[in-house]
């Protein structure tokens, strides 16, 4: 990992390593099970799984940007946004990522990319309209922290296994395995593939949620320390959360699938349990920023 002036976070690093270890283990189990169950097609299974994994890793930034409606902008098109990113990158001593804007009234921001050289930071038009310059810099510093710590790449890879589990289930059903009622072994194979896929999806979902909540607190902490203005980030968090609550539900539902990548979740009460939430609560984030402000001696 290239060194930057963002505060290092050993807790985040250890959690990313553990998440990737368990995700990798699950990945091997799923592919191995599929190879055993589909004996005659093990080469095809390995090739498809490998190709999908490579495609997901190398094209994740483009997929995410396209899915969330982001389009890259030049300094002439968005001088204030580029200026803020320029200042933060100079302060953090890191390469400048591509800068994008998403046409959405939902006030939010996100970062994508497998490394610092292939990264993008995007803000929505709704965010740009609502935040003051210091608040916007706090949000952008939060997103740049994700890039510097490479947790964006880890989240993208970690989320892939859940997608693969769903594809495996559909492939097993569409392949015709078990359609012959006389072949009890084939029918059992379909049930096993489906059950394993469901379990794998559930485990990968929980792993990514646990990592996602911690990485948001880590990015808040790193951004507040880098800018020296935790109060500006706290103000942005409060404003964005309050404004999101006023956005039409239909617009929020379109954004909800990408909650794990956003600065703030599209729905404040997105799940009935904190265990399933992609973000820590607003109170947790503000409490941490308050402690950092006290440590820095800032109001």
Between vectors from CA 82 to CA 81 and to CA 83, what angle results, nearest 5°? 90
Mean pLDDT of 229-237: 96
Three-point CA angle 288, 291, 293, nearest 5°: 110
114 by DSSP, 3-state: which? coil
Higher per-residue pLDDT: 251 or 110: 110
Q: Token pair for residue 34?
A: 């599929």
Rg of the Cα trace of the chain? 21
> Has 250 been labeled as part of a binding site?
no
Distance, CA of 215 to CA of 249 (rounded, Å): 27
Catalytic residue among 143, 250, 270, 283: 143
Q: Domain limits of the chain?
A: 10-294
Give the model's confidence band at 272: pLDDT under 50 very low, under 70 low, under 90 confident, else very high.
very low
Say if residue 94's pLDDT is above 60: yes
72 part of the active site = no
110-123 pLDDT, tens digit per residue, is: 998 877 888 899 99
> What is the mean pLDDT of the segment spanning 196-203?
73
* DSSP state letters, 75-90: TTT-HHHHHHHHHHHH
Give the pLDDT score at 217: 95
Task: Using pLDDT thresholds of 50, 70 and 90, give the confidence band for residue 275.
Answer: low
pTM: 0.81
Distances in Å between the Cα of 111 and the Cα atoms of 29, 204, 230 are 31, 21, 20
How far is residue 264 CA from its own chain's centroid? 11
- The end-to-end CA distance of the chain, in Å, is 33
User: What digits encode the pLDDT tens for the residues 157-198?
Assistant: 776 666 666 566 566 556 554 455 456 666 676 677 667 767
The answer to whether the annotation marks 72 as part of a ligand binding site is no
* 112, 152 Cβ separation under 8 angstroms: yes
């Amino acid at each position: 990992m290239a060194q930057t002036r963002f505060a290092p976070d050993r807790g985040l690093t250890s959690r990313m390593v553990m998440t990737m270890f368990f995700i990798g283990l699950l990945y091997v189990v799923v592919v191995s099970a599929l190879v055993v169950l589909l004996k005659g097609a093990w080469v095809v299974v390995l090739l498809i799984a490998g190709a999908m994994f490579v495609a997901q890793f190398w094209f994740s930034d483009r997929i995410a940007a396209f899915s969330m409606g982001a389009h890259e902008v030049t300094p002439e098109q968005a001088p204030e946004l580029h200026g803020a990113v320029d200042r933060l990158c100079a302060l953090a001593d890191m390469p400048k990522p591509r800068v994008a804007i998403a046409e959405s009234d939902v006030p939010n921001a996100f970062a994508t990319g497998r490394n610092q050289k292939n990264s993008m930071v995007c803000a929505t038009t709704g965010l740009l309209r609502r935040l003051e310059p210091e608040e916007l810099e706090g949000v952008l510093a939060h997103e740049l922290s994700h890039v510097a710590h490479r947790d964006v790449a880890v989240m993208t890879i970690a989320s892939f296994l859940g997608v693969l589990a769903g594809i495996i289930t559909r492939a097993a059903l569409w392949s015709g395995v078990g359609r012959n009622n006389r072949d009890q072994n084939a029918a059992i194979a379909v049930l096993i593939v489906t059950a394993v896929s469901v379990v794998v999806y559930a485990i990968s979902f929980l792993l990514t949620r646990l990592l996602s909540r911690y990485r948001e607190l880590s990015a808040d902490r790193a951004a507040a320390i880098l800018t020296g203005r935790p109060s500006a980030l706290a103000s942005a968090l409060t404003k964005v959360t309050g404004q999101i609550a006023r956005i039409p539900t239909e617009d929020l539902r379109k954004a909800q699938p990408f909650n794990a990548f956003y600065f703030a979740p599209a729905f404040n009460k997105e799940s009935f349990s904190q265990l399933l939430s992609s973000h820590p609560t607003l109170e947790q984030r503000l409490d941490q920023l308050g402690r950092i402000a006290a440590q820095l001696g800032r109001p």
